[in-house]
Amino acid sequence: MEAKSIVKEAVAKRVPALRELHQRIWESAELGYEEIKSALALRDFMASEGFAVETGVAGIPTAFVASYGSGKPIIGILAEYDALSQLSQQPGCPTKDPIPGQEGGHGCGHSALGTGSAAAAVAIKDYLEATGKSGTVKLYGCPAEENGWGKTFMARAGLFDELDCAFTWHPSYDNGVWSTSSLANVSVKFKFAGRTAHAAAAPHAGRSALDSCEIMNVGVNYLREHVIPEARMHYAYLDVGGTSPNVVQDHACVHYFLRAPKSAQVQEILARVKDIAKGAALICGTECICEIQSGMSDYIPNPTMSAVIQESLTELGAPEFDGADQALATQFFQSLPEESRQQVLAGLARRFGEERAREIAAAPLEETISPLVLTKVAMPGSTDVGDVSYVTPTAQATLAGFCIGTTPHTWQVTGQIGSSIGEKCYLKAGEVLALSAAKVIDQPELCQQAREELLAETGGVYDCPAPDDVLPPIPEGVAQRAKEAGL
Ligand SMILES: [Zn+2]
């Protein structure tokens, strides 16, 4: 039997089990590093399929690696399963209607991401069994993509080092390969310490930590003109030193995100921002401590592995939506803000003419496949897949799981991913990643080619943006709860 038939059959025969798995993750809707029920659901599923599962990897209770097979190539499949706060929504409901008592929701579709990746891993197992070929598949349970950058810490722990390549995917409004880079970033807190004093009676005795923050921010705002135009520097006050204007503030803290197209550029900017903080402390007579929280490297889409995904997607086709899915998606499209809808319609009209634009809006689930055009332009955001892409050749698919015009991190995503639209999306993702892996198993020389491309890009250097002494920000009590739950 050919690879395509094996992976399609492998996914098809597991639809009820995958549906149950997805339901468990979608309903649990747990925030980053707290994905205990979701990690358990995935672990149970992988273990029931005969995978060896190691939990609690990289010091993260909800991270795991599930392995099957032996020998090379060693192929990694990345799974995410964290949710977002405030995005609870009834499944398939196109008007805002949160589930009572539930705050979080899968507004970025990571319930589907985790399930589709698990589907891919078990379909690769079937392919290895059916062909008797050499190869190992590893499903990586990667927590906290949204808020905690789990993969950065997993990459630092060396978990991806042995891989010949990694595949992942993300639900989207289109079908294709994730072809752009992303911004590298670093999250860093500047804590100033000064001395309190009566602000009217003895201001000369005080040393203001709040003034230090303000002067630091002024300095950074002057720096903006003298860094590369693509750089982004944003900050928020975490501590303003109390609420009394008549007390000189002896503590204050400002939290920065620094971003640029390449990790090395972020490090250069960070060095200059640290100097500014030192200068602010010197001006005010305070002390400054710089605490790096974590960071993400820029994403390097691997050309060879991206082409492998594109080929698989073209062979398999887009998710197969029916009339009921399109009708439901139309209602979701109508629920989008007027401005977003007009923007989408104007964009479609420019590309296809007004009549076709109206037709597309009436059936707004994408059923075509976008051509593969890799670009060095970074999308204006960051992802921790970037850290994996520095260590091993990495490629990502996108599969339609919500209607055109839907933006991630909205209740509309939670609602659509929780419906039959989401199911068709993750089932197809499983097939696409599994067929991509089968191609690598059949042609292991692709790994060498991909590795050479990666080396040309990085010189073989990966500097993890999270320093060795920075621990993943696991909320208090989670490790205990995870243990009690059996993780
Ligand atoms: Zn996401």
Query: What proportion of the chain, given as a percentage, has pLDDT over 70?
Result: 100
- pLDDT, tens only, 387-426: 999 999 999 999 999 999 999 999 999 999 999 999 999 9
Residues sharing a CB contact under 8 Å with residue 75, sequence separation 6 or more, in sequence order: 124, 135, 136, 137, 138, 163, 164, 165, 166, 167, 437, 440, 441
Distant-in-sequence, close-in-space partners of 412: CB < 8 Å, separation ≥ 6: 89, 94, 332, 335, 336, 402, 406
Question: In this predicted model, what pLDDT tens digit does every residue of 51-102 receive, in sequence order?
Answer: 999 999 999 999 999 999 999 999 999 999 999 999 999 999 999 999 999 9
- Please report, rounded to a whole number, the percentage of residues in the chain having pLDDT higher than 90: 92
pLDDT of residue 71: 98
DSSP one-letter string for 64-84: EEEEEEESSPEEEEEEE---B
DSSP per-residue letters across 293-312: EEEEPPP-B-HHHHHHHHHH
- Give 344-357 pLDDT, tens digit per residue: 889 888 988 888 88
Own/partner contacts of 240-243, CB < 8 Å, gap of 24 or more, are: 240/210, 240/213, 241/208, 241/209, 241/210
Query: What's the one-letter identity of residue 74?
Result: I
Residue 198 has pLDDT above 90, yes or no: yes
Distance 145 CA to ligand 1 centre (A): 7
Which residue spans within 297-390 are E strands per DSSP? 378-379
**Span from the CA of 371 to the centroid of ligand 1 (angstroms):** 22
Confidence (pLDDT) at 357: 85
Q: What is the pLDDT of residues 425-446, one digit of tens each?
A: 999 999 999 999 999 999 999 9
pLDDT band at residue 164 using 50, 70 and 90 as cut-offs: very high
Average pLDDT on 224-250 reads: 96
pLDDT at 353: 87
Mean local confidence (pLDDT), 199-206: 97
Distance from the alpha carbon of residue 113 to the mean position of ligand 1, in angstroms? 8
Direct distance between the N- and C-terminal alpha carbons of the chain, in angstroms, rounded to an integer: 38
- The Å distance, Cα 33 to ligand 1 centre, comes to 15
Task: Please report the pLDDT score of residue 360 as a whole number.
Answer: 84
Beta bridge partners of 172: 400
Q: Rounded distance, CA 265 to CA 197, Å?
A: 41
202 CA from centroid of ligand 1 (Å): 52
Residue 310 confidence class, pLDDT cut points 50, 70, 90:
very high
282 Cα to the center of ligand 1, angstroms = 41
Instruction: Return the structure tokens found at 151.
Output: 């993969």
The rounded Å distance from CA 234 to ligand 1 centre is: 21
Specify the DSSP class assigned to residue 318.
S
pLDDT of residue 223: 98
Compute the average pLDDT of residues 452-465: 96
Q: How far away, in angstroms, is 142 Cα from ligand 1 center?
A: 12
pLDDT tens for 277-307 read 999 999 999 999 999 999 999 999 999 999 9
Please give the distance, rounded to the nearest whole angstrom, from the Cα atom of residue 109 to the centre of ligand 1.
6
Q: Which two tokens stand for residue 286?
A: 């305070």
CA of 241 to the centre of ligand 1 (A): 35
The rounded Å distance from CA 329 to ligand 1 centre is: 20
pLDDT digits (tens, 9 = 90+) for 248-274: 999 999 999 999 999 999 999 999 999
| Cβ within 8 Å of residue 267, ≥6 positions away | 186, 463, 465
Q: Quote the tokens at residue 71.
A: 């020998």
pLDDT of residue 376: 79
Q: Determine the distance separating the centroid of ligand 1 and the alpha carbon of 151, expressed in angstroms.
A: 13
Give residue 87's identity as a one-letter amino acid code: L
CA of 200 to the centre of ligand 1 (A): 51
Give per-residue pLDDT as tens, 104-116.
999 999 999 999 9
How much is the pLDDT for 172?
97
Give residue 410 CA to ligand 1 midpoint distance, Å.
11
CA angle 330, 410, 258 (to 5 degrees): 140
- Condensed to tens digits (0 to 9), the pLDDT of residues 9-64 reads 999 999 999 999 999 999 999 999 999 999 999 999 999 999 999 999 999 999 99
pLDDT band at 340 (very low <50, low <70, confident <90, very high): confident
Q: What pLDDT shows up at residue 348?
A: 86
Return the bridge partners of 303, or none: none
pLDDT, position 356? 84
Average pLDDT, the chain: 96
Q: Give pLDDT, residue 75.
A: 98
Ion ligand 1: residue ranges with CB closer than 5 A: 108
Collapsed DSSP state (helix, strand, coil) of residue 103? coil
Q: 38-52: string of b/e by CB count within 10 Å (b at 16+)?
A: bbbbbbebbeebebe
CA of 110 relative to ligand 1 center, distance in Å: 6
Ligand 1 centroid to residue 126 C-alpha, Å = 28
Residue 170 CA to ligand 1 center (angstroms) comes to: 7
Q: Ligand 1 centre from 183 Cα, in Å?
A: 15
CB atoms within 10 A of CB 293: 17
What is the 169 CA–ligand 1 centroid distance (Å)? Answer: 10
pLDDT of residue 381: 87
- Quote the ligand 1 centre to 35 CA distance (angstroms): 15
Of the candidates 23, 188, 75, 41, the one whose C-alpha atom is nearest the C-alpha of residue 443 is 75
Q: Provide the whole-model pTM.
A: 0.93
Distance between CA atoms of residues 215 and 164, nearest Å: 48
Asked whether the predicted pLDDT for residue 148 surpasses 80, the reply is no
